[in-house]
Amino acid sequence: MNVDNWISDIINVRERCTMPIMTHPGIEMIGATVKDAVQSGEKHAQAIYELSKMYPSKAATVIMDLTVEAEAFGSSIAFPENDMPHILGSLVDSESIEGLQIPSLSSGRIPEYILANKMAVGMITDKPVFAGAIGPFSLAGRLYGMSEIMVACYLEPEAIALLLDKCTCFIENYCMELKRTGCSGVIIAEPAAGLLSNEDCLQFSSVYVKNIIDKVQDDSFMVILHNCGNTGQCTDAMISTGAKAYHFGNAISMTEVLKQCPGDTLVMGNIDPVGVLRMMSPEEIEKEVTLLLEQTAEYPNFVLSTGCDVPPCVPEENIRAYYNALSAFNRSM
């Protein structure tokens, strides 16, 4: 697929489309647990496929799992049955970074995620499939400890730069392999960069993300840069990466960020997946979605999405309400 044409078609068509970051409802549809899906590429792909048949999303997305790459480096991971995996402790400190080895793509669950993407591409033929990967600063924070890295950025910047170089190298290799599966792009999740100022985001995140983008992005493979931690202070740093699309969380004003982003890039967001989709009634959800669509109506590059990954246990009627609001808005245009 030519992703530039796909982007152009979205911008030039009057009706609005949606691409929620949503996999967990698919896991529930096939009767699997979260633990099943994050450990089995086959079950993961089946969940994506079933979900793609059920809802008219503009693209299919894989699980946003921010532990996969850290596990490949050697981090210990806990696997709850029906919640996302989480990291147990830190892996390195400033003294051990130099000895940290960049893992192969056969490490940990990386092969299962590559398999999930490859199978999903084979099964889903009517829309693009977007893979997922963690961003370099977010990965470094998981290896080093988030509180610790925030301090070390100022006290030991050279050590952190070395860690970021190693994280970036691995993510580049991983994204190149994901590209070979036939995916149309990758969502790089860099939420930890939202803790930084614009200047620090440039130094400790964006320059590394740009290196990845320069290596993997072309007219057949796009990068969607996701930062749900950004409240508006580091949007310029995100844009400096040159991604073809930017994805924002519910902590930011979509109308304000749309003013900043280039008109030829896609700007996605930002319905709260927990506070709105999981907690509100269908009627309230329709109102929230409609309001966002009305507020962003003058921006043809806006793509309705969730602010982050839709969590487990969201009622089906709530997801239907999200799509119903979009359909009703498009009929009214």
The token pair at 293 is 């669509």
Q: Are 143 and 92 in contact (CB under 8 A)?
A: yes
The token pair at 219 is 């007219």
Preceding omega of 82 cis (within 30 degrees of 0): no
How many angstroms separate the Cα of 62 from the Cα of each of 14, 238, 263? Answer: 27, 22, 26
Nearest to 162 by CA among 98, 216, 109: 98
The tens digit of pLDDT for each residue in 22-81 reads 999 999 999 999 999 999 999 999 999 999 999 999 999 999 999 999 999 999 999 999
Query: How big is the chain, counted in residues?
Result: 333
The model's confidence at residue 333, banded by pLDDT at 50, 70 and 90, is confident
How many angstroms separate the Cα of 110 from the Cα of each of 22, 113, 252, 280, 303? Answer: 20, 5, 32, 35, 29
The tens digit of pLDDT for each residue in 180-212 reads 999 999 999 999 999 999 999 999 999 999 999
What dihedral do alpha carbons 136, 139, 145, 146 form, nearest 10°? 60
How many angstroms separate the Cα of 236 from the Cα of each of 138, 197, 257? Answer: 18, 10, 9
The tens digit of pLDDT for each residue in 154-173 reads 999 999 999 999 999 999 99
Strands (E), 182-277: 185-189, 222-227, 245-248, 266-271
Q: Are 188 and 137 in contact (CB under 8 A)?
A: no
